[in-house]
Structure 1
Amino acid sequence: MALFERPPRSICILRLSAIGDVCNTIAAVQAIQTQWPETKITWITGKLEANLLESVAGIDVVIFDKKAGWKGYRQLWKQLDGQRFDALLHMQYAFRASIATLGIKAKYKLGFDGERAQDFQGLFTNVKVPSPKKMHVLDGLMAFTETLGIPTKSPSWQLQYHEDDQKWAQQSLSDKRNLVIIPAASKGYKNWTAEGYVDVINHATKLDWNVIIAGSPARIELELGEEIEARLTTPITNLIGKSSLLQMLALLDHADLVIAPDTGPCHMANAMNTPVIGLYAHHNPMRTGPYNYQNYVVSVYEEAIMAETGKSSRELEWRTRVKDKQAMQRIQPQQVIDMFDLVCHEEKL
């Protein structure tokens, strides 16, 4: 049964991290905004993630300092002092997020049901959101909106960025077709090889594509970018560490195609309706892949999980992760090149 027959006055969203998950959560929040435009929405998130939320109109963002310990909780609760929400959507089951709910006043505190909740999240909520049949993270988030009383709809995004962000992106874009590669994730085990990227880049440049590599200023990303450039004989544009999140959003929006491992920009590209080839080994892409482009994922998850456990994913708990830190090396360059050619054909690029 729906919690609300008429639009509630106010809703609080609790989703602290990470960029990809926050990007997926935006679709659920914007579904609420579309159905209930007068409902006030407050979103509690992390400092980095708040930069991405600048792309979402009509929400109040409250930053929670995850690194400040108990001081961060006290600051958060002080900011919310005097506010009472009709509903809190506790959309992150991490224990540190659950602690934050203790100082958030709301009639209903929605959390995942027993199938999806972890880290004792159920102790901090009074409404358990039924898990959908689909395993994808985003489907689990959209289930919150259905529990509130919003009709089921396909996830969609309306993200905006500034004119200056667009101008920044256009400086590196070409009149040719533009391929943006995000080579690295923040966790090294999710990263593919420099040699593999070089083979794909050489293939794209032979087809007269303009190639750009981009990413955050994290050392692991900078080093992989440098290694890729050192192995190339044809120059490319290296923007790794040179963009803000909204500049990255603009770049992904204007790209013709994106290639990325399981990392935030993979989901940002999906949100901008830019075709993206996701590279996956450790997580089942049916659960964490770019939502609208799961058919374009190059995945070795099934073979890696079989090698590790002797079982297929269907025989295992639905969120089982591959632990082998070398699993991404199972992806062969020709697999990505073949997918590149297929996407170009299907998307008429």
Structure 2
Amino acid sequence: MKHPLPARPRHIAILRLSALGDVCNLVPTVRALQRQWPEARITWIIGKAEHSLLAGLSGVEFIVYDKATGLAGMRAIWRELSDRRFDVLLHMQQALRASVLSLGIKAEVRVGYDKARSKDAQHWFIHRQLAPHPRAHVVESFLDFARLLGVEDLSLEWNLPIPESAVQEAREIAGTGRYLVISPCSSLRVRNFRNWSAEGYAAVIEHAWAQHGIATVLTGGGSTQEREMGERIQALSRPEAVHDAIGKSSLKGLLALIDGAEAVIAPDSGPVHMGNALGTPVVGLYATSNLDRTGPYHWRAQTVNRYPEAVRTYLHKEPEQLAWGQRVRHPDAMSLIRTEDVIDRLEAVLLARDAHGAQTETPDEA
């Protein structure tokens, strides 16, 4: 017998710890739940870095889990939540760590992914599964949790909070002129070949400066890989055209930088989804990831998409033959992205901004 779903939940728990792009893509589901049940209390168990990005999100109580604390950190959360029983737990993280954490969270019903989307034996930790949704974008996969609960208005809304201190931080980095944000590196993972070339980025930076007088702000974390990439790009660029902020901004400061930018250029990583959430034009660089699953939701038409070509070149298959979302883990895949394609996409979004003023609508909303 299926566990019944609450008709009018009073207290909803969301379990999604990571990553930065994914938690941005989850926010519209939170907003949809809030519109349907404005009196409901929402508690989101979230990762440490992800919380620093979304802190202050209206109507949400955050419980922060730092994965570095391991089981001890889980026990601390269990103690904090020991006197609460949720009407429903939305288990949105397909990872064993999150499933173990879920064991100490009391809920009348636990909802997780359907068989096709589930990983790490998540089905052992839940009561109800989502309805199948083949070939869904990540944004739509999250919205499926709201659909299952009976939410009617699934329109996309973010309203990410950016404090004035972050705006000032961005101003100190970028100045007051027009600028692009380029986040050249994705997260550092094993066989994660999502990064484009320093030479390609430098050519785009030169074009933006020479043709439009638009400088570029380089952003990213403080890892050795990211710092070295920033140094290579700077060495290939004229000094006045680029500001290196890699490892120098907070996550809220990064949000503010993206909010004020003419456009964001980045591979499959958090900043493309931050730009999407803020309505800033995004030129995504995709060859190893499936754009239709993880691309910047409103800006997929502006993304340079070499994924189909990479699948044919390095996996010797057609994209339709692959499991949904399968990555091309080949170190040369991103070299399929041509500089002229990136510049063409950038020109298109700059032309649209110049023609219509500051971007207030995404292409899909216009």
* Structure 1 position 103 matched with structure 2 position 104: yes
What does residue 63 of structure 1 align with? 64
Q: 2:230 aligns with which of 225, 231, 256?
A: 225
Cα distance in 2, alignment partners of residues 246 and 331 from structure 1: 30
Farther-moved stretch of structure 1 (100-109 vs 170-179): 170-179
How do 1:269-280 residues align onto structure 2 when only pairs under 5 Å count?
A: 269-280=275-286
What does residue 129 of structure 1 align with? 130
Which amino acid in structure 2 is aligned with residue 3 of structure 1? Answer: L
What does residue 5 of structure 2 align with? 3
1:321: how far off? 1.1
The answer to whether the 8 Å contact 1:19/1:264 transfers is yes
Cα distance in 2, alignment partners of residues 192 and 107 from structure 1: 46
Cα distance in 2, alignment partners of residues 231 and 210 from structure 1: 14
What does residue 162 of structure 1 align with? 163
Cα distance in 2, alignment partners of residues 186 and 141 from structure 1: 22
What does residue 202 of structure 1 align with? 206
Identity of aligned residues (%): 42
1:133: how far off? 4.8
1:267: how far off? 0.6
Distance 1:347 1:3, change over 3 A: farther
What does residue 251 of structure 1 align with? 257
Deviation sequence 1:202-252 (CA, Å, 0-9, x none)? 110012112211111122111111110011124221111111111111111
Q: Unpaired runs of 5+ in structure 1?
A: none
The answer to whether the 8 Å contact 2:14/2:89 transfers is yes
What does residue 296 of structure 1 align with? 302
Which amino acid in structure 2 is aligned with residue 214 of structure 1? Answer: T
Cα distance in 2, alignment partners of residues 341 and 115 from structure 1: 39
Cα distance in 1, alignment partners of residues 58 and 153 from structure 2: 22
The answer to whether the 8 Å contact 1:256/1:274 transfers is yes
The answer to whether the 8 Å contact 2:265/2:285 transfers is yes
Deviation sequence 1:164-217 (CA, Å, 0-9, x none)? 111121234455432111111122621111000001001100121122111111
The answer to whether the 8 Å contact 1:260/1:266 transfers is yes
The answer to whether the 8 Å contact 1:91/1:141 transfers is yes
* Structure 1 position 193 matched with structure 2 position 197: yes
Cα distance in 2, alignment partners of residues 164 and 72 from structure 1: 30
Q: Unpaired runs of 5+ in structure 2?
A: 356-366
1:58: how far off? 1.8
Which amino acid in structure 1 is aligned with residue 7 of structure 2? Answer: E
Which amino acid in structure 2 is aligned with residue 327 of structure 1? Answer: A
1:346: how far off? 3.3
RMSD: 1.7
The answer to whether the 8 Å contact 2:193/2:329 transfers is no
DSSP 3-state at the match of 2:152: coil
What does residue 139 of structure 1 align with? 140
1:347: how far off? 3.7
What does residue 260 of structure 1 align with? 266
DSSP 3-state at the match of 1:242: coil
Distance 1:152 1:129, change over 3 A: farther
DSSP 3-state at the match of 1:84: coil
Cα distance in 2, alignment partners of residues 68 and 218 from structure 1: 21
What does residue 336 of structure 2 align with? 330
The answer to whether the 8 Å contact 1:174/1:210 transfers is no
Deviation sequence 1:136-179 (CA, Å, 0-9, x none)? 01100001011112114232201111111111212344554321
1:10: how far off? 0.2
The answer to whether the 8 Å contact 1:186/1:218 transfers is no
DSSP 3-state at the match of 1:119: coil
Which amino acid in structure 2 is aligned with residue 210 of structure 1? Answer: A
Cα distance in 2, alignment partners of residues 120 and 94 from structure 1: 8
Cα distance in 2, alignment partners of residues 217 and 33 from structure 1: 36
The answer to whether the 8 Å contact 1:257/1:276 transfers is yes
Cα distance in 2, alignment partners of residues 55 and 224 from structure 1: 32
Count of residue correspondences: 348
Which amino acid in structure 2 is aligned with residue 307 of structure 1? Answer: T
The answer to whether the 8 Å contact 2:182/2:265 transfers is yes
Farther-moved stretch of structure 1 (95-104 vs 174-183): 174-183
Cα distance in 2, alignment partners of residues 107 and 36 from structure 1: 18
Q: TM-score, normalised by structure 2?
A: 0.91
* Structure 1 position 86 matched with structure 2 position 87: yes
* Structure 1 position 311 matched with structure 2 position 317: yes
What does residue 171 of structure 1 align with? 172
Deviation sequence 1:27-61 (CA, Å, 0-9, x none)? 21121122212111111111111101214112111
Cα distance in 2, alignment partners of residues 37 and 256 from structure 1: 34
What does residue 180 of structure 1 align with? 181
The answer to whether the 8 Å contact 1:4/1:149 transfers is no
Q: TM-score, normalised by structure 1?
A: 0.95
What does residue 15 of structure 1 align with? 16
Cα distance in 2, alignment partners of residues 296 and 318 from structure 1: 22
Cα distance in 1, alignment partners of residues 70 and 170 from structure 2: 37
